[in-house]
Amino acid sequence: MVDKDFTIRPMNKEDFPQVQEIYEFGLETGHAAYEKSAPTWEQFISKKIMDMALVAVENDDPDFVIGWITAAPISSRAVFHGVVEDSVYIHPKGQGRGVGGALLDALIEMCLEQGRWSMHSWIFPENTGSAKLHESRGFTKIGTMHQMARMTYGEMKGQWRDCDLWERLLPLPDDPAEEMDVAEA
């Protein structure tokens, strides 16, 4: 087996300028997200589950971030805390080297360790690379959500755009915490 030429480790604040730049590269494709620009660090950490945020760095240049992955809660409702949505972005120079796959494998492993029971991914139908990546890691396309938002940039600018929902089920925990079973106001 050939060793990987990159290493996966937790993301930290010092990584963020590179994380943001890789995010922007992905957004520039016009097929990664509805949003036009990457968030600030403060916005990022307010939305993501930061103990599940990972970066991949080059072995021969460990300060160079080649990709990242995070998870976010799919809902603010506590009963759904076992369901997370992933985001994965790889530097254009790092694509096609197995980095996205390795990051997604690592995130799935963390979900298993934390007793999460389902993972979601929202993928534009036009984003073949992300669909293939998720399919290769056991995600199944559940369906297409229609007219979710209007694109404000890119080649689909002005169009109300559909998005596919992909799912990967994980083993169910024996006993989800009872304190989660309280209706929210």
* Position among 30, 39, 73, 101 found at the interface with ligand COA (CB under 6 A): 101
Give residue for tokens 């690379």: 129
Q: What is the dihedral of CA 157, 96, 44, 154, to 10 degrees?
A: -10
Strand order in the sheet with 83-90: 6-10, 54-58, 61-73, 83-90, 118-123, 160-169, 140-150
Task: Give the shortest CB-19-to-ligand COA separation in angstroms.
Answer: 12
* Position among 57, 123, 151, 170 found at the interface with ligand COA (CB under 6 A): 123
Helix pair 128-136, 99-113: axis angle to 10 deg:
50
Note whether 141 binds ligand COA by CB under 6 A. Answer: no
Between residues 17 and 173, which has the closer beta carbon with respect to ligand COA? 17
* Position among 129, 153, 162, 165 found at the interface with ligand COA (CB under 6 A): 129
Nearest-angstrom CA–CA distance, 89 and 19: 8
Note whether 88 binds ligand COA by CB under 6 A. Answer: yes
Task: Give the shortest CB-150-to-ligand COA separation in angstroms.
Answer: 18
Pairing of strands 6-10, 54-58: antiparallel
Note whether 99 binds ligand COA by CB under 6 A. Answer: yes
In this structure, what token pair is assigned to residue 63?
A: 């300060």
Note whether 136 binds ligand COA by CB under 6 A. Answer: yes
Note whether 98 binds ligand COA by CB under 6 A. Answer: yes
Note whether 36 binds ligand COA by CB under 6 A. Answer: no
Between residues 4 and 77, which has the closer beta carbon with respect to ligand COA? 4
Return the half-sphere exposure (C-beta side, CA atoms, 13 A cut-off) of residue 55: 22
Give the distance, in angstroms, between the CA of residue 152 and the centroid of all CA atoms in the same chain. 22
Task: Give me the residue whose beta carbon is nearest to ligand COA.
Answer: 100
* Position among 29, 58, 73, 176 found at the interface with ligand COA (CB under 6 A): 29
What three-state secondary structure class fits 119?
A: strand
Residues forming contacts to ligand COA in the complex (CB under 6 A) are 26, 29, 32, 88-90, 95-101, 123, 127-130, 132-133, 136
